[in-house]
Amino acid sequence: MFKALWCVLCLVFLTSCSKPQFQGSDISGSTLGGEFTLSDHSGKTRSLADFKDKIVVLFFGYTHCPDVCPTTMIELKNAMQQLGKKADQVQVLFVSVDPERDTKEVLSQYVPAFDSRFLGLYGTPEQLAEIAGRYKIIYQKQVSGSGDYTVDHSAGSYLLDKNGKPRVMVSYGAGAGVFVHDLTLLLNE
């Protein structure tokens, strides 16, 4: 009898000490990320430290993106709606990979159109390259014959905990439900 009770207690203890079961890819403990400073769509200088004690969703994209970026931004908008009041503890940061076109004015029209709490961030090409490198983001301008261009870029979103540490990578097209699930886990830590 004692042996059976001991096994049950051990199982309960092990279950309570297990890591959260994210639906996105758990990247806890990775060497990705780090502090950065960029300008937001209102012209204010922002650093990652400004959002300490909030969960940060970090997405690299651009406003002229025909598919990946608006799809992801709609998923994030829907996730924020589903989170209700908890959404106030989440900060979505849209980092532009198109410094030529994504000016303060363009970002100020695009990003808040999805949710007024979302912030569009921009910087110099050098700042962008440095930050993208730390988050292993790939982006490359693709010029067409007409001179117009698109930007191929990594399509996942990072979820950073309240201390700014990358914890989850949500793949493109995962859906609002994955964001809600994983954000809720991080909010409850």
7 annotated ligand binder: no
Please name the residues in contact with 14: beta carbons below 8 A apart, sequence gap of 6 or more: none
- CATH code of the domain covering residue 59: 3.40.30.10
> Which pLDDT score is estimated for 5?
40
- Residue 94: the pLDDT is 98
Residue 6 located in a structural domain: no
In the three-class reduction of DSSP (H, G, I as helix; E, B as strand; rest coil), residue 131 is classed as helix
| C-alpha span between 80 and 179 (Å, rounded) | 9
Would the annotation count 64 as a binding residue?
no
65 appears as a binding residue in the annotation: yes
Distance CA 139, CA 141 (A): 7
Domains in the chain: how many in total?
1
> What does each of the 189 residues of the chain score in pLDDT, given as a tens digit?
445 444 433 444 444 455 679 999 999 999 999 999 999 999 999 999 999 999 999 999 999 999 999 999 999 999 999 999 999 999 999 999 999 999 999 999 999 999 999 999 999 999 999 999 999 999 999 999 888 999 999 999 999 999 999 999 999 999 999 999 999 999 999
Task: Report d(CA 22, CA 160) in Å as an integer.
Answer: 13
Give the count of alpha carbons within 13 A of 23, CB side only. Answer: 15
- Reported as type and span, the H/E element at residue 170 is strand 166-170
Other beta carbons within 10 angstroms of residue 176's beta carbon come to 17
Q: Please indicate, yes or no, if residue 12 is contained in any of the structural domains.
A: no
Side chain identity, residue 48: L
Q: Which domain holds residue 59?
A: 22-27+34-187
For residue 124, give the amino acid letter: T
Q: Is residue 8 part of a domain?
A: no
Q: 10 in a domain, yes or no? A: no
Residue 151's pLDDT is 97
